[in-house]
Structure 1
Amino acid sequence: MNELWPIIKSTNMQRFLIIILLTSFALTGFSQTKIDSKIDSVSSDYELIDYIETSPQFPGGEDSLWCFIENNLDFKILNYSNHQGKVLVFFEIDTTGKVINVQTNPDYTQRLEWLVNDSLIENEIRRVIKLLPDWKPGLQINKPIRVQYILTINIPYTDFKCKTIDNPTTAYWKVDKYAQFLYKGEKETKESIEKFISENGIWPSQDDCTGKVYLRVLINEQGELSDFVILRGLDDCRGFNEEALRLVRLMPNWKPAEIGGKPVKSYTVIPISFVIR
């Protein structure tokens, strides 16, 4: 169930509302007590009010809002890493209904333990929020007001709200059981990848580089890998991206993802670590 928390703030003789929009898929570990605490930490000028005369309205309603967001998000970016947590997205609807001042994870939210700070993920979320079409502006005392939403988005993003998603990548992320890589007796994907790299990896150059290259791949119903894309590489290190790509292309078949007990195509993101031991 979605919850809206209306708040009035006075700044420079202007009053505007902040609505904290907490989606049902993002409520885990975010209790009402923590919401109140967070509001207090933003500004002492905030005070709760009993009602909002007229909230901003997205064309077609809330379901249309989530359909717009989910049809435009690139899930291969949101789900590329092993992050577990949430991204906080702040944006305002001005008095003409336009979306302005989009930001993610501002400084005063950094104390939240579940916060996911990742420039690649945050840039993608901001990109989509900036694409939102004009809203019908909010009203207070029959006058247009500026309204801010604080939206929490779970990472990885797997709980979809839109009832009619057209995004072709969505079907490859929304599965019951994720694809697995089981290599030479290892029982977990992470350990299997590490063993495979240790047996087959070649240090690319004399560069003293360390880090990870993240590749997205498509795994078909037979567990075969294709559609190799580097999501984040070590661009300043000679040959490291190329070596990561070579290793992933060399991998044997994976155990495919499942929906309803049947194998299906799915996307997965494979991290290739370069570590000096």
Structure 2
Amino acid sequence: MGLWINYHLKIPYIPLRNDTTVTVNVHFTVQPDGKLTDITIQQPGFRNLDKAVIDAFTAMPTWKPGYLGERAVPVRFSLPLALHLGNTLRKPYDVPTPEVTTMPQFNGGGKALAYFIRKNLKYPAEARAAGIAGAITVEFTVLYNGVVANAFTTGNAVGYGLEEEAIRIVEKMPRWKPAVLDGKPITAKHKILIRFELPK
């Protein structure tokens, strides 16, 4: 079965900063005719990966059924799949970070940035359903003209859509005040922490 999964499972694009191994716990029932039914994922993670796993199990050939005495009976299985996901996020520009006079700033300062995040954050449904919270660090480039570009996450992946939502918020941001060096605006790297806290 492992070889069949490796050959037929189509790993979807998932934006990740680092190589990551995730465990997908698949629950399913082997019916008396060997077909797999009631395929579900316990503790859902990356939604598109969970869907790909379910699709692969749905297309799987029939199994040998379980027997009670001489009669084939439905049997419920729980199977953990360890899947390796490679780093897929685009890399930032190779931007030197000199001793700038002024670091990049969100227009209006920290309070305005916090308000922008709070106003635009859409808590991922899968994270809310699973009771998942966390803090995501997003690194990005503020170009000399204030445009935000090349956002990617750093640190261990939390999943459940948090990384995707954090990047979406950063990419939605208006122009920043760029970093300044010797009185001139320059392109520089910056990073922020976006916290996801479950509603009380």
TM-score scaled by structure 2?
0.48
Structure possessing the higher relative contact order (Cα contacts under 8 Å, 6 or more residues apart): 2
What's the TM-score, normalizing by structure 1?
Answer: 0.35
